[in-house]
Structure 1
Amino acid sequence: MEICCDLEVDVNGEETFMVDKKIITSYSGRLSKLFGKTKGTTRNLKVIFHDFPGGAESFELMSRFCYNNGKTQISPYNICLLHCAAQFMEMNNSISGTHNLLEQTDKSLKEINYWTWSELLIALKQCQDLLPDVNSSVILQKCLDSLVGRLALTNEASPCPSTSSPDSSGFRFSCDTKSTESVKTSSSRATWWYEDLFILSPNLVEMLVKSMVERKFNHVIISRFLFYYHKSKFYTATSDEKRKILETVIDMLYTLDWSSVSYKSLFGILRVSMSLNINKSSKNKLESMIGSQLDQATLDNLLVPSPYGINYLYDVNLVLRFLKAFLNGRSSQLSAIRLRKVASLMDLYMAEVAPDPCLKPSKFQAIAMALPDSARDSCDELYRAMDMYLEVHAGLPDEEKLKICCALNYEKLSAEIYIHLSQNTKFPSKATVQGVVSQQYKLKSLLEGTNISQQDTDLSCTSIEIRSKGKKDETSEQVVLYAGKLDVISDNEKLKSHLQGMQWRVMELEKVCRKMQTQMAKIMKSRVSSHGHSRSLPRLCS
């Protein structure tokens, strides 16, 4: 067959090819329709392609297929390029007969399960390079399905489930927990593919993770891969690429079981994200994941510097969002233990941010009142944080101070803190009086409901002086607390009678105790004389 070069083809500005129009057109429906409109014989024809998938390399492979009578060697190394070129050139119904390039690539794809792991990665990488060309989507999905299927077989080969935590150095797939060598082998079996797949683009990683979730992969393994991918990719990525990587990792972690995600690593991503200005959706997802497990956080985790332009030393608004996510997270019921852990953490955090002179009282109050009262068994640490804040912000009006004190449950203050409060001039006088009255009722309840001796209750009246500044003069208020003689109750005589009865019973018990001690002494003396040695006996009374 005589071959002439009567058609010039410019491929994406990369390279120009001189080809035989008749040969190429006989296999390409696209060119056939294009030249079918031309009338007569024309010479020096030129076609310019701006978006040919795979560029010059792909066009050359397609041309060789045409010049070789519709035959070519299709392998994992070129199947993606040939498949996309065939779709672009509409080589699904060739004029020359049954030599259909698209059909041949589809047939070769059926052998994908026999490809080696390396061949599969090469094909996947080629598909990735052709994106966002939609023509590569079919072969790309098949490559991903095959890859995920092989990883699933690797994981299912182990008889034991993973017993490692998200923060551990590896995953245990072997039942032999005694052998260190076995653990190392198990770890490599679980994570050997991490390094091979970090070359994938964020778009492909998203498709990969979604496929893994559908195949019921261990979420711990997936989350560890995402953190590995994030760290590995960041070394050579540009700012825009880093932002895309981070957003993809966050979005994919959000689809997993949050308890399988390393809490420490989430805070690492949080600190990196602050300088990259990620989109609002990904930012909210990250804060929700962190906030839902706030009981696992430490004080250092929460001491995040404020964003640029805000005077606060630490990002208090971020912590408030964490608290909101914790209270409104995926878990509908919060255990008392988790609430107490977060309350203790917030007390430490408030003590740390209290000295900040720029921190507004509304923000401090919001943190103090974010958790329900049941979260704290004691309000001592909360009081100390408030005391520190009011000392630094001494110029606040009483109205603002009272709003802050509203978060304080005076009934949960210890005696030591109560005494400190009664003499604390930094607190508004109304708050101090309220605390003293609360303590008075608390002591009254204890005396009415607890059996204690008359000697312990025969206390003198305690007078507590509370100073407050008026508009003109300094005035003082007297709050008298009755500990031993509760004249405020109507049944005073009944209480005295009850206490006298208690005292009589104590005296009787003391007599019995002394009698038992005498008897024990006689027994011990007799045993010494009979056996020549004594054995120590428990002291029943002292």
Structure 2
Amino acid sequence: MNRIIYETSRELDPTIVVELNDLPGGSEAFELAAKFCYGIAVDLTAANIAGLRCAAEYLEMTEDLEEGNLIFKTEAFLSYVVLSSWRDSIVVLKSSEGLSPWAENLQIVRRCSESIAWKACANPRGIRWAYAGRRSRSNSPKWAAAGSAGSGSGDPRDSPVPADWWFEDVSLLRIDHFVRVVTAIKVKGMRHELIGAAIMHYAAKWLPGLAKDVGSGAADELSTVTAGGGGLHMIVAGSGVGGGGMGGGARDEWTGAAAREQRMVIESLISIIPTQRDSVTCGFLLRLLRLASMMKVAPALVTELEKRVGMQLEQASLTDLLIPAYYGKSETMFDVELVQRLVEHFLVQEQSPERERSPAMELQKHAGSGGGGGGGTNAKMKVARLIDSYLTEVARDRNLSLTKFQVLAEALPDSARSCDDGLYRAVDSYLKAHPTLTEHERKRLCRVMDCQKLSIDACMHAAQNERLPLRVVVQVLFSEQVKISNAIATSTLKDGSGGGGAGGADSHSYQMPVISSRKQLLEGTPLSFQEGWAAAKKDINTLKFELESMKAKYLELQNDMDTLQRQFDKMSATTVAAAAVAGKSGKHSSSAWSSGWRKLSKLTKIAGPEGQEAGEQFPAAGGEAAGRKGPRRWRNSIS
């Protein structure tokens, strides 16, 4: 003080005014320091010790001037009283928010953070100190199902202490101090699931809108904390700079300072999320990613967050995946490119050997139905269903380009989908929202789905869908007929193996619904497609009739040849004497018969290949029926 007054008196001003604007702790700390100098008793508490320790350092109240000075006494109180108490460590760390950089330089923040970390990592069964003990209102971890210990009267050992007992108290700290505490807890070796749950609890308190069931805000949470009864003393002594830390995040007005504060919270939380899989839920990561996109968080942190989402994308829900496109990055309503990157990160993680050996994947493999297929296949199928639902939603956006839709639909391999009904719904939604697509674009769009993977309900809908190209409808009908044929063949094989009349009855009862469904499928075909089918059917019937006619002629000629052959054999068996008696008339008859035989053989060689080809394609029963209707000219002429 003498030095400050001496430097101020050089200005030759009769009125000397000394201003200590940079005194840490403000007027309250200076008043306590002045009382200490004049021998007045000063009550040291957790609420004023941090400010008083910094003020003593500022005022140079060291042992060089007098033994037992203020620095020594405040340091001893911090070391032996505050750091041994859970509640006092929280209060001191909270009161140090407005004392930067003094609290950092004097190691107050570091020592309090380590003290809190040691106590948080302690065995809950051995906890004997008081804590807030209120249940988390959002993102409550599964291991916190046990009842919370009472923070008032009674032995703490009478009621079980949950593993998340420290969440509520630590979540009251400012983000930088919370990061220091979580970092220290990581070093102590706490489970990553518990650390992730603490981060989710903190984010639900300080990030508005992150959790669906979050309360009225952090400021209201702080106002409910009262002194005594094992709670926290929230008496903050400081110069007023910083104004209570995170209070600005709960203001009604959204200012630039509040936006920067929110951005800092998001970036800090992303940086301290444990690297292990399933440390936090995928829904939390996606909601955090939504806020990160909205607040323009650093691109490197956003990329890291996207990779984390890709590690457990199969756990996501459609609601969390519908992330809007902020700040004009895209003309679409939702950020489709972001989802595309998430799928790419998921596929990369699926191919990594670390994921295949992870305990979570081993549990999925053992829990899979029938033991068939690995956990990776199940994860891909879940992601495929999720992406199909996402495509159905975003397809209604008229600004969504065909290329983006196609790229996202084809991002997953074919093995990820056992049924393409979801893709068909997405394609149909896109066709509804984009009626101006050309025929080429519609064909290109329909290539993303496999008609052979559609169910019978989807096939019936597709057969009546006039928005689909004609080629796709034909493929759908053909694939459905192939399925019906295979089903009938399979049923016939099963009935044949069973044997007996009962098998025939079962076959009849099985085939009837299939034939009925096929008939209903064909009758439901639109009128515009029925005309094309009628013309094609007419051509097919004409060709079939011509082939049957040719076959009938061939069969008729073959019968005539057989008859003549029998006559020839009979004549060769006659005696030589009968041939001599015949004389000249016999010679004339034999000559006529030989001429007819040669003529018939010549005609047979011409019609033989065509008739044989027709006979291989159709059964003989139809040919005989047609043969009876044919002309009998050759037989009469030969006779």
Both structures adopt the same fold (TM-score exceeding 0.5):
yes
Residues 46-77 of structure 1, C-alpha deviations (whole Å, 9 max, x = no match): 554442221222333344445559x9776544
Q: How far did residue 44 of structure 1 move? A: 6.1
1:353 matches 2:394? yes
Quote the Cα distance in structure 2 between the aligned partners of 1:360 and 1:191: 47
* % identical equivalent positions: 27
Q: How far did residue 446 of structure 1 move? A: 10
Q: How far did residue 341 of structure 1 move? A: 0.8
Matching residue of 2:281: 262
Matching residue of 2:29: 58
Matching residue of 1:155: 124
Equivalent residue of 2:412, what SS?
A: coil
Q: How far did residue 385 of structure 1 move? A: 2.5
Matching residue of 1:110: 79
Q: How far did residue 371 of structure 1 move? A: 1.0
Residues 89-117 of structure 1, C-alpha deviations (whole Å, 9 max, x = no match): 445563x3555654554444431477433
Matching residue of 2:111: 142
Quote the Cα distance in structure 2 between the aligned partners of 1:355 and 1:413: 22
1:295 matches 2:314? yes
Q: How far did residue 282 of structure 1 move? A: 5.0
Q: Tell me if structure 2 keeps the 8 A contact 1:468–1:476.
A: no
Q: Tell me if structure 1 keeps the 8 A contact 2:139–2:200.
A: no
Change in 2 beyond 3 A, CA 1:219/1:332: closer
Which of 175, 178, 196 does residue 205 from structure 1 map onto? 178
Letter in 1 for 2:179: E
Q: Tell me if structure 2 keeps the 8 A contact 1:379–1:413.
A: yes
Letter in 1 for 2:30: F
Q: Flag the structure with more relative contact order, 1 or 2, with Cα contacts below 8 A and sequence separation at least 6.
A: 2
Residues 419-478 of structure 1, C-alpha deviations (whole Å, 9 max, x = no match): 776786644466667778888999999999999499999xxxx9x999999xxx999989
Matching residue of 2:163: 190
Matching residue of 1:504: none
Matching residue of 2:195: 222
1:389 matches 2:430? yes
Equivalent residue of 1:259, what SS?
A: coil
Which of 375, 379, 382 does residue 416 from structure 2 map onto? 375
Quote the Cα distance in structure 2 between the aligned partners of 1:434 and 1:145: 68
Change in 2 beyond 3 A, CA 1:403/1:153: same
Quote the Cα distance in structure 2 between the aligned partners of 1:38 and 1:494: 125
Q: Tell me if structure 2 keeps the 8 A contact 1:306–1:315.
A: yes
Residues 255-303 of structure 1, C-alpha deviations (whole Å, 9 max, x = no match): 3534132344445555666765555455445544444322223333334
Quote the Cα distance in structure 1 between the aligned partners of 2:436 and 2:13: 92
Matching residue of 1:405: 446
Change in 2 beyond 3 A, CA 1:384/1:184: farther
Q: Tell me if structure 2 keeps the 8 A contact 1:247–1:282.
A: no
Q: How far did residue 342 of structure 1 move? A: 1.1
Quote the Cα distance in structure 2 between the aligned partners of 1:327 and 1:294: 10
Matching residue of 1:539: none
Quote the Cα distance in structure 1 between the aligned partners of 2:467 and 2:413: 25
Letter in 2 for 1:260: S
Change in 2 beyond 3 A, CA 1:48/1:474: farther
Q: How far did residue 249 of structure 1 move? A: 6.4
Q: Tell me if structure 2 keeps the 8 A contact 1:429–1:466.
A: no
Q: How far did residue 199 of structure 1 move? A: 2.8
Segment of structure 1 superposing worse, 101-110 or 134-143: 101-110
User: Superposed, which structure 2 residues align to 1:415-430 within 5 Å?
Assistant: 426-428=467-469
User: In proportion to residue count, which structure has more helix?
Assistant: 2
Q: Tell me if structure 1 keeps the 8 A contact 2:271–2:301.
A: no
Q: Tell me if structure 1 keeps the 8 A contact 2:310–2:343.
A: yes
User: Superposed, which structure 2 residues align to 1:235-274 within 5 Å?
Assistant: 235=217, 236=219, 237-238=250-251, 239=254, 240-241=257-258, 243-244=262-263, 246-247=265-266, 250-251=269-270, 254-255=273-274, 257-266=276-285, 269=288
Q: Tell me if structure 2 keeps the 8 A contact 1:313–1:356.
A: yes
Residues 117-174 of structure 1, C-alpha deviations (whole Å, 9 max, x = no match): 333233222222213446555011111111221222243649xxxxxx9655661569
RMSD: 5.2
Segment of structure 1 superposing worse, 447-456 or 346-355: 447-456
Change in 2 beyond 3 A, CA 1:91/1:128: same
Quote the Cα distance in structure 1 between the aligned partners of 2:84 and 2:405: 62
Matching residue of 1:540: none
Q: Tell me if structure 2 keeps the 8 A contact 1:77–1:122.
A: yes
Equivalent residue of 1:370, what SS?
A: coil
1:320 matches 2:340? yes
User: Superposed, which structure 2 residues align to 1:38-49 within 5 Å?
Assistant: 47-49=18-20
Change in 2 beyond 3 A, CA 1:293/1:476: farther
TM-score by length of 2: 0.54
Change in 2 beyond 3 A, CA 1:468/1:250: farther
1:87 matches 2:57? yes
Quote the Cα distance in structure 1 between the aligned partners of 2:285 and 2:485: 50
Letter in 1 for 2:196: S
TM-score by length of 1: 0.62
Change in 2 beyond 3 A, CA 1:301/1:199: closer
- Larger Rg computed on CA atoms: 2
Q: Tell me if structure 2 keeps the 8 A contact 1:467–1:475.
A: no
Letter in 1 for 2:172: I
Quote the Cα distance in structure 1 between the aligned partners of 2:158 and 2:331: 49
Q: How far did residue 387 of structure 1 move? A: 3.3
Matching residue of 1:537: none
Letter in 1 for 2:55: A
Quote the Cα distance in structure 2 between the aligned partners of 1:344 and 1:390: 20
Letter in 1 for 2:449: L
Runs of 5+ consecutive residues of structure 1 not aligned to the other structure: 1-18, 26-30, 159-164, 175-181, 481-492, 497-542
Matching residue of 1:124: 93
Letter in 2 for 1:85: A
User: In proportion to residue count, which structure has more strand?
Assistant: 1
Equivalent residue of 2:121, what SS?
A: helix
Residues 290-325 of structure 1, C-alpha deviations (whole Å, 9 max, x = no match): 443222233333345554756545443443343233
Quote the Cα distance in structure 1 between the aligned partners of 2:50 and 2:144: 35
Letter in 1 for 2:110: Q
Change in 2 beyond 3 A, CA 1:91/1:477: farther
Matching residue of 1:488: none
Letter in 2 for 1:54: G
